[in-house]
Structure 1
């Protein structure tokens, strides 16, 4: 699709030990959406991912790399990438995993939806969405976790933990990134909630999520459980603050 009416678009791809996937996924992004730039944010991968990213950037002016010295978590990598993208004047800033689970060929669906939204989420759990090669236990965990998020935080987003997204520049500016402290997988839920709390429009479009076939997944049962614990603490704190504000107004 033509992205001229959306302005300059960049997709931020955080990496940690993705040497087997990075060149493959970047090439797919560039082929699927030739006008979209790529910003790789590498957290000091010991497997040579950063060097591969540098080689890609050297051969393609639409690919850029940020090297971070330590593994600081998914949210921290995205926040760094967002800050650089905003400083560079991009109008649309996206998120995409490096492992191929988010298919670049479906990026056009998100770009189309952004014409009537402030944040677009590529969703596994809306009608038409799907997952490939997931065990039933993992699907149940993700569906259940998202149901819990909706009930706890009072939002309607079906896949608040999803990481395939497009933000308008104005959205990131309005939700005040300097106050975002979540760094792990809770980051995705945090950003969706902040967008809604700011009175902005979130749209979900169905995607096909494909489990990685190369490299090791960063998600585990322990990581998911820890994320739910953090969401619980955060959600309770949010509700308490809202109650206090209501009492003060009363």
Structure 2
């Protein structure tokens, strides 16, 4: 398969109270991509998710587990998982949710785009061919509006900067410098896409079908979305100030 040409691949899967979903989604991923490893990062789930992850790892040498003692945010879990994956020598490092919203059967689309030369591939809901299933109109409007706001404020062309189904080249994460990443919530996804583009690397979006979870509770809320938009606004305004300063400085020395 294509991933053999790219090298060793691992999907980082953060979990918090996903006991009803984890074994199911890992089984689907392992069937769809037998060569791909899975790294579960559990933030001390009280529902037994960590124990399920350990059992999966005991029976499958392609499944690995990191246990964290507290729920410190999605971004923190991903950064921890990414760092461990880099230390373990993986060439391609991906991310996906444990709740079934990201379809493992569509991972090959991301792999093919990375093999074609992208530095970061995003499985996108908002490019032609992408779709959402079982979302209320209010949730769709929030996501579409939030991504439009991101594009306008940060000046990027990514249609789905908030999406969490992704593949990074090892070199991309090394260039970004994970030690400087401080975003912890859902804004982490936008942060990583923006950092990739800011370093002159390429971001490619491929269409996916995003299916709303059927089991367990969503971690997304209006409060989480609002906080993410506040942080993005802060970044965007800071970036525009820096651009004006550089332009003003350049004109003074012209």
Identify the TM-score tier after normalising by the shorter chain.
Answer: over 0.9
User: What is the root-mean-square deviation in Å for CA atoms of aligned residues?
Assistant: 0.9
Tell me how far 1:76 sits from its aligned partner.
0.2
Q: Distance in 2 between matches of 1:97 and 1:247?
A: 44
Q: Distance in 2 between matches of 1:6 and 1:28?
A: 21
Q: Distance in 1 between matches of 2:69 and 2:162?
A: 26
Q: Distance in 2 between matches of 1:87 and 1:246?
A: 40
Deviations 1:175-232 (A, max 9, x none): 1111111010110000000000110010000000000000000001121111111111
Contiguous gaps of at least 5 residues in structure 1: none
DSSP-derived class of the 2:168 partner: strand
Tell me how far 1:113 sits from its aligned partner.
0.5
Residue of structure 2 equivalent to 1:84: 84
Q: Distance in 2 between matches of 1:95 and 1:188?
A: 10
Residue of structure 1 equivalent to 2:158: 157
1:108 corresponds to 2:108 = yes
Q: Distance in 2 between matches of 1:62 and 1:52?
A: 15
Q: Distance in 1 between matches of 2:80 and 2:187?
A: 16
Contiguous gaps of at least 5 residues in structure 2: none
Residue of structure 2 equivalent to 1:22: 22
Q: TM-score, normalised by structure 2?
A: 0.96
Residue of structure 2 equivalent to 1:136: 137
Q: Distance in 2 between matches of 1:147 and 1:76?
A: 25
DSSP-derived class of the 1:3 partner: helix
Q: Distance in 2 between matches of 1:96 and 1:246?
A: 40
Residue of structure 1 equivalent to 2:235: 234
Q: Distance in 2 between matches of 1:103 and 1:217?
A: 17
1:176 corresponds to 2:177 = yes
How many residues are aligned here? 250
